[in-house]
Chains A and B, each alone.
Chain A
């Protein structure tokens, strides 16, 4: 179901933007790639397994039976689809930033802009590989955030893009219940990408990743951050506030820089350890990092070398 009853020209423009950006990036990613990620049934032999009653008789290897008088079943590398879900945190804090993508004019330079393009690209890329894709948006404004489980088909992808184009950063993420809910809904052995800045007390929300682990999902945690924010490279003494609300803090960035550096290191280590503990893969993603590198690393399991501030 479309998220809006009436078509908004601005939203449609955003969809176009996202679509275009995703296509371009996906094309770059797929240059020189000759083998589909979706392997399908009987495409590539994996190993043998002793036949057990109830198994599909079509898998029996009669030649082996002829030579050895034993019933064995052939197994292949991929025998099912890989449902992929992108969980996107669009809480108010993601509306800040200085170095994000320039492709979304009203979210220029923000972590949210980078996150939206990254999410769209991932969805498109996976869709092009024939995987069913889904979208879960946590927090944000301008959309009702329906749960969009993984499905195939162009119409479904268009629906996801429309959802991404409609939503804007805002509100509080409240990651613990949100991630717990999404984790509980996710399909078994599915592929899940969580895009978030993780700006809540890690000890509060990290346990929610346990829900994904229990479902056997292949979890990727994209930890979004703005490099200048994490360097506290933001001018002189100012009154800092969170778009999500809360207390304002008067801080001189110069005087607090060294202590901030220590805090960032401790925080990253804490989040990384939590993600790894629940079987996920931690991907630190600064918003000035080329998106192709992020996707290659996340989807193709290529290493991602990122220098923290």
Chain B
């Protein structure tokens, strides 16, 4: 704010202020001398009046001096220049309205959302424009959308466009909106009226270059910023599933953007509908993390975390992926029941997978003979163990199809295993072609030990906390061998090896399914694995990995509202349908081996194929930065830096000063008359 004068030289008249001072000082002494017999009383009166005048006289002098000064000031043309508010608009005849309809504009403020207020004000602006002024309208969130193809003088159409604007959950792309405004102005100067909260750490910063371009064109951006004095919002910033101390857990991060500490009630809802209520204490302008342990059995899919927040509700729900937890139904195909328990894989596998009968491990075991494989139900069984099965050829296509549709197959060695039959039956899904079993130790020896494993692969990651060294106690004297092969990232991976370099556990990813080959036996036939402490954890991990995290039939992707989601397709021939959170198909397109779609709301999206399980899940959430309703920068500040006079307003103070001066002079005169001086 600054003060200026149109005619500063007139201030020289300010010397007139000396007049009342001189008049005040040169108060005339009466000439008439009057004898008076009650001087005692008069002296008392004068003493009393003198006390009063000590206060009143300076005030009177001040009033007179101020009166003269105000009149002189009024004549000199004073004016006040200040920034803020909205300068005059419409003078250029070309006006573009930018209306922010992003997520943060849904913030509640005194009974209405910011967007509702922005709409009202924008409509008022258009109605107030003189006829003949060309107007353009741009609505923006992630995308800037021109609602008028060009500038138009049809104001009613623009008003209808403004009134039809609805809030979205997208982020604020001010830069894109300014680009559209520049296009509408077609390089000519004009006024861009911006109706936005200008909230968030990046919105204005990203648009600085575009603001500069508009200013250089001679245009002015007039911000009608409507932000509450102390904006409040609580948002769920993230929710992720991971391993915890007592199993799987979801870590929820809730952020408070308001100035006061608060406690919010939240609810975590799992894909199977189970809900877990929590309360989160939030510091002012801070965040808090809560960890929720997932039950030992839970369906995989997309869960959600919802926190109650009356200020801005669109960001109160966060969607997250949850793998299948527990409840893996395993079909063990027993190829050699064995005459004693130590010669039976099923005996050891049952005890390793379901030591308490499956009640607490979440694993249910079905044991069958090779002939029973025809009962394989892909919807029920997640994993099939081929334990020393002699001839899988009759079931080769069935198992191959099972794996391609997301099933998981574990093949183990044994005396019955014949490489040629397996290669014939499962050549398309084995990590590599098998060779015949090979003895790696002399009779009577313990066999070759397993090497210390690399626990970085996801399958072995739980062993980082302990048990890694126990792998070295596993020994085998006979092993299945492969034709030469090489690990391929994302497809073939050798997870465990023996000291002699021969693979112990190899996995291959086929579509959504996986095949694992354990080159030894799960009984004591070829090695000592069942007697080692690592046996039960390893087998359980194989099942939880294949049946849960890795074995999830569907792929999982993350997405953000308003931004394109890309899903790679395993086969160019398939054309999945994207089902939105409301159960209706969402618009999508296939681009080569990719499916692309742009979600317009947060929630769980599914990619579905006809008569098949869900192919992929996409958890779509709002942009966490859009939840930050605080204001960091302002467009006006950027403009002022570029062109200091652009948003300056001038207020003429001449009449005010003259009126004040006259008022003071009249007031002092009345006062002086009343008190007789």
Within 8 A of B (CB), among A50-74: none
Tally A-B pairs: CB < 8 A.
104
Q: Assess the B37–A249 pair: CB atoms within 8 A.
A: no
Q: A229 is contacted by which of B30, B38, B48, B675 (Cβ under 8 Å)?
A: B38
Q: Given A251-B46, A259-B48, are A201 and B29 neighbors across the interface (CB < 8 Å)?
A: no
Q: Which residues of A228-259 are within 8 A (CB) of B?
A: 229-230, 234-244, 246-252, 254-256, 259
Chain A residue numbers with a CB within 8 Å of B44 are 263, 267
A201/B39 contact (C-beta < 8 A), A239-B32, A252-B677, A256-B676 known? no
Most chain A CB neighbours (cut-off 10 Å) among B30, B37, B38, B49: B37
Determine if B42 and A260 form an interchain contact, defined as CB atoms under 8 angstroms apart: yes
Q: Among the listed A200, A226, A236, A255, which residue makes an inter-chain contact with B37, where contact means beta carbons less than 8 Å apart?
A: A226
On chain B, the residues within 8 Å of A96 by CB distance are 35-37
Number of interface residues of A (CB under 8 A): 41
Please give, as numbers and ranges, the residues of chain A lying within 8 Å of B30 by CB-CB distance.
236-239, 250, 252
Q: How far is the CA of A303 from the CA of B48 in the complex (A)?
A: 35
Scoring B residues 39 to 72 as 1 if CB is less than 8 Å from chain A, else 0, what string do you get?
Answer: 1111111101100000000000000000000000
B31 contacts A by Cβ under 8 Å = yes
Q: Are A229 and B36 in contact, CB atoms less than 8 angstroms apart? A: yes
A93-B39, A94-B37, A260-B45 are contacts. A255–B675 as well, Cβ < 8 Å? yes
Select one of B35, B45, B677 contacting A242, CB under 8 A. B35
Interface residue? A111 (CB, 8 A): yes
Partner of B39, one of A111, A240, A250, A267: A240
Verify if A225 is at the interface (C-beta below 8 Å from B). yes
CB-defined contacts of A200 to chain B, threshold 8 Å: 40
* Contact yes or no, B41 A260, CB < 8 A: yes
CB atoms of A256 and B33 under 8 A apart: no
Among A201, A242, A252, A254, contact of B36 (Cβ-Cβ < 8 Å): A242
CB distance from A109 to the nearest CB of B (A): 12
Given A252-B676, A255-B675, A259-B49, the answer on whether A229 and B37 have CB atoms closer than 8 Å is yes
Which chain B residues lie closer than 8 Å to A234 at the CB level?
34, 36
Q: Please give, as numbers and ranges, the residues of chain B lying within 8 Å of A226 by CB-CB distance.
A: 37-38
The 8 A CB mask of A152-196 against B (1 = contact, 0 = none) is 000000000000000000000000000000000000000000000
Residues of A within 8 A of B48 (CB): 259, 262-263
Complex contacts, B37 vs chain A, CB 8 Å: 93-97, 111, 197, 199, 226, 229, 242-243
Chain B residues lying within 8 Å of A199, measured Cβ to Cβ, are 37-41
Q: Which residues of A contact B41 (CB under 8 A)?
A: 199, 230, 260, 263-264, 267
Q: What mask results when residues 127 to 157 of chain B are scored 1 for a CB within 8 Å of chain A, else 0?
A: 0000000000000000000000000000000
Contact in complex: A251, B42 (CB < 8 Å): yes
Of the residues B33, B43, B46, contact of A238 by C-beta under 8 Å: B33
The docked-state distance in angstroms from the alpha carbon of A264 to that of B38 is 10
Residues in A with CB closer than 8 Å to B45 are: 251, 256, 259-260, 263
Q: Given A256-B45, A259-B45, A267-B44: A235 and B35 within 8 A (CB)?
A: no
User: For A201, what are the chain B residues with a Cβ–Cβ distance below 8 Å?
Assistant: 40
Asked whether A239 and B31 contact (CB < 8 A) given A93-B38, A199-B37, the answer is: yes
A-chain residues with CB within 8 Å of residue B38 when the two chains form the complex: 93, 197, 199, 225-226, 229-230
Say how far A224's CB is from chain B's closest CB, in angstroms. 9
A-B contact pairs, 12 of them (CB 8 A): A199-B38, A229-B36, A238-B30, A238-B33, A239-B34, A242-B35, A249-B43, A252-B677, A254-B676, A255-B49, A263-B41, A263-B44
With A237-B30, A241-B35 given, name 19 new contacts (CB 8 A): A93-B38, A197-B38, A229-B38, A235-B32, A235-B34, A239-B32, A240-B33, A240-B36, A241-B34, A242-B35, A243-B35, A244-B39, A251-B46, A252-B676, A254-B676, A255-B677, A256-B46, A259-B49, A263-B41
Interface residues of A (CB under 8 A from B): 93-97, 111, 197, 199-201, 225-226, 229-230, 234-244, 246-252, 254-256, 259-260, 262-264, 267
